[in-house]
Structure 1
Amino acid sequence: MDQYKEIAPRLIGLRESIGWTVKEMADLLGVSEQTVVGYESATNEIPVGYLLDVSRLCRVDLTTLISGREPHLKSHALVRKGEGFAVDRRKDYDYKSLGYKFAGRQMEPFLISVPPKDGETMTETSHRGQEFIYMLEGRLELRLAGEPLILEAGDSVYFDSETPHAMRGLDNRDAKFIDVIL
């Protein structure tokens, strides 16, 4: 939750610098006022989809919103193995941003590791945009609108991110994949 405590003031500052009320921000993002307040007070886990929506709406780089630092590279950005920027956005997934150094990104590529868990504890999320997942290791259960898809290394799926989706690793091991969010 410490990362949310760092992001929350940036969310408030960004909204206030633009001159929007909580209600205006909520209306523009298509969420409730309680959702905005929960994220801005760091009492609720902040989904990456929400951060993406805020960054796009406010024309602020996602890296800046998450880390408080500006990306500077414009021609290319090399990220070596193990160097991805850790995005502690969900306590049950390991997210590493692979494009965090590049200024003006049109997509958000992540290396994600999802641990195994009980199917009843899967948490659905949805957000604006589209996603492309390419499996690297393990097996992943991806539920799209409640329907399970089982993905293995080499499999890929492209879907509308507004479709409620949830994930879990299978076979008592983590599932690793590249997730590109547009």
Structure 2
Amino acid sequence: MNVEQRVEAVSRQLGMRIRAARKARAITLDGLSEQTALSAGFLSRLERGETNASISNLIVIADRLGIPLRDFFEGPGQEPQPEFVVSRASERNAAAAMEGKGYTYRLTSGVLADQQMSAFELTYLPGEAMHGESLSHKGEEVLYLLEGQLEFEINGQVAVLDAGDCVHFNCEKPHRGRNIGKTPARLLMVVTPVDSLTP
């Protein structure tokens, strides 16, 4: 299976989970559209696996459906690990990355009983930025820049991050990032608590 086929498979799987969660709550596409400010057409294509969703869109959808964000990434019938989960770089890199608006991302955290956080690896190519409006949601977030240079805006204030820099903030403040370097900017994002993404 090549990269394009893996991306399509991940998109279809994600779409099926969104549709299942929506139908389980007896919410129509139009109803979810009104609650998320995302068009019904976009949501329909997303559920069919015909388009990609940014992490900001997934957070909003999970919030409106009243489920943890991790539910979109767990396999069906997957049981929480009792003690710890090891996320292997080789396995993550073999899987297709999800595409956001201006970045790609991969889930790096596992599934634990009473889980309190989710972690993602984000990559911005040179010149890329989160497109559209700034993101805001419940909870706290920590961004640790692994490599590259990133301009990060929080509630109208701008901070330039270099490799090794870290920012911790209240997610309810509007925020977004932009790669201002000449190489890819790769960062670890940790969001907590998991269930703060539900109403």
| Interval of TM-score (by shorter of Structure 1 and Structure 2) | 0.7 to 0.9
TM-score using structure 2 length: 0.69
**Number of the residue aligned with 1:131:** 141
SS in 2 for 1:128: coil
Superposition map of 1:1-40 within 5 A: 2=8, 3-26=10-33, 30-32=35-37, 34-35=38-39, 37-40=41-44
Task: Find the aligned partners of 2:59 and 2:115 in 1 and give their Cα distance.
Answer: 11
Cα drift, residue 117 of structure 1: 0.8
Higher relative contact order (CA 8 A, sep 6+): 2
**Number of the residue aligned with 1:73:** 81
Whether the 8 Å contact between 1:99 and 1:105 is mirrored in structure 2 is: no
Matched pairs, number: 177
The one-letter code sitting in structure 1 at the alignment partner of 2:16 is P
Superposition map of 1:151-170 within 5 A: 151-170=161-180
Cα drift, residue 47 of structure 1: 2.5
**Number of the residue aligned with 1:51:** 58
Give the RMSD, CA atoms, in angstroms: 3.1
Which blocks of at least 5 consecutive residues in structure 2 are unaligned?
1-6, 193-199
Cα drift, residue 172 of structure 1: 0.8
Task: Find the aligned partners of 1:93 and 1:65 in 2 and give their Cα distance.
Answer: 19
- Residues 122 and 11 of structure 1, relative CA distance in 2, 3 Å threshold: closer
Whether the 8 Å contact between 1:145 and 1:163 is mirrored in structure 2 is: yes
Task: Find the aligned partners of 2:97 and 2:114 in 1 and give their Cα distance.
Answer: 18
Cα drift, residue 116 of structure 1: 0.9
| Residue 143 of structure 1 pairs with residue 150 of structure 2 | no
**Number of the residue aligned with 1:109:** 119
Task: Find the aligned partners of 1:103 and 1:97 in 2 and give their Cα distance.
Answer: 17
Percent of paired sites with the same residue: 21
Which blocks of at least 5 consecutive residues in structure 1 are unaligned?
none
SS in 2 for 1:41: helix
